[in-house]
A = this chain, B = another copy of it.
Amino acid sequence: MATGRTHRPATRSRGIPEATVARLPLYLRALTALSERSVPTVSSEELAAAAGVNSAKLRKDFSYLGSYGTRGVGYDVEYLVYQISRELGLTQDWPVVIVGIGNLGAALANYGGFASRGFRIAALIDADPAMAGKPVAGIPVQHTDDLEKIIKGNGVSIGVIATPAGAAQQVCDRLVGAGVTSILNFAPTVLSVPDGVDVRKVDLSIELQILAFHEQRKAGEEALPDGLPASAAAARESTDKGPDGDVPAVMPA
């Protein structure tokens, strides 16, 4: 770790582990809540509980960012909010476009969590001409024909795909062609993108299936349906969470 390039108490110079990056938003949210309640400082133990992870992990995660705490005291909430925000790149404004304004697209457009976190919905795009001009979440929907113009005109680099599966790849190609380099895909398809483009997926059916797996295990600790010697419900808790709260993982990342 650390490319100790001298300068500063080092640490954090190279790559912050992906697993850590995935948890930073979690910490940020817990910190924001504390901030709103005007809580000045918080210990790793308290913050960890609020975020749903264990304190050792949290401290290790923070150690990749730098030494932002005070021994014997804890962390300054405001300072940490700033540091994590900066690390995540949320101190700048990210214009985002949402393509596919169906039920989900509308839900996303109305989702407050975006605007409050450095993301700004630059445009809503849909292929249905009937949708054009119609306001959703106060933003007029624009037609797919203008996709490239919209992307380039607003310097959009992050796109959200909420179209039906069949249209996803095509939309993806156009987004990438217009300059988008990060895509959040809600369509149930594997998107292929060129190098340099990030794709993250959110898949409801997958999450449900994982739940079903654990649920099945809870119910059948012994009564095994299908024969097959290999099948023996056993071991492993169903909870499988850290020492405290819950906090599964999301990402799949």
Q: Using CB atoms and an 8 Å cutoff, list the residues of chain A in contact with chain B.
A: 1-5, 7-16, 18, 21-22, 24-26, 28-30, 50-52, 65-66, 86-92, 94, 96, 100-108, 110-111, 113-114, 117-119, 157-158, 160, 162-165, 181-220, 225-241, 243-253
Q: Is the CB of B245 within 8 A of A113?
A: no
CB within 8 Å for A201 and B247 given contacts A24-B209, A158-B208, A212-B94: yes
The one of B50, B226, B234 in contact with A190, judged by C-beta atoms closer than 8 angstroms, is B50
Contact in complex: A202, B204 (CB < 8 Å): yes
Q: Are B206 and A239 in contact (CB under 8 A)?
A: no
Q: How far is the CA of A201 from the CA of B210 in the complex (A)?
A: 11
For A12, the chain B residues whose CB sits under 8 A away are 228, 231-232
Residues of B within 8 A of A66 (CB): 228, 230
Highest count of chain B CB atoms <10 Å: which of A26, A28, A29, A103 = A103
A248 touches B189 (CB 8 A): yes
Would you give 6 A-B contacts (Cβ < 8 Å), ordered by A? A52-B190, A89-B220, A185-B246, A190-B246, A204-B250, A241-B252
A239: chain B residues at CB < 8 Å are 193, 195-199
Question: How many Å lie between the Cα of A5 and that of B251 in the bound state?
Answer: 26
CB A229 to nearest CB in B, in angstroms, measures: 7
CB pair A111–B204 under 8 Å, yes or no, is yes
Asked if B86 and A201 make an inter-chain contact with CB atoms under 8 angstroms apart, the answer reads no
Q: Are B253 and A158 in contact (CB under 8 A)?
A: no
Min Cβ gap A210→B in Å is 6
Known: A11-B232, A186-B250. 9 other contacts (CB 8 A): A13-B231, A18-B240, A21-B210, A101-B252, A200-B207, A201-B250, A202-B250, A206-B249, A210-B253
The CA of A8 and the CA of B226, in the complex, are separated in Å by 13
- CB-based contact B247/A9 at 8 Å: no
A201 to B247, CA, bound (A): 6
Give complex CA distance A2, B226 in Å.
18
Question: A86–B15 Cα gap in the complex (Å)?
Answer: 40
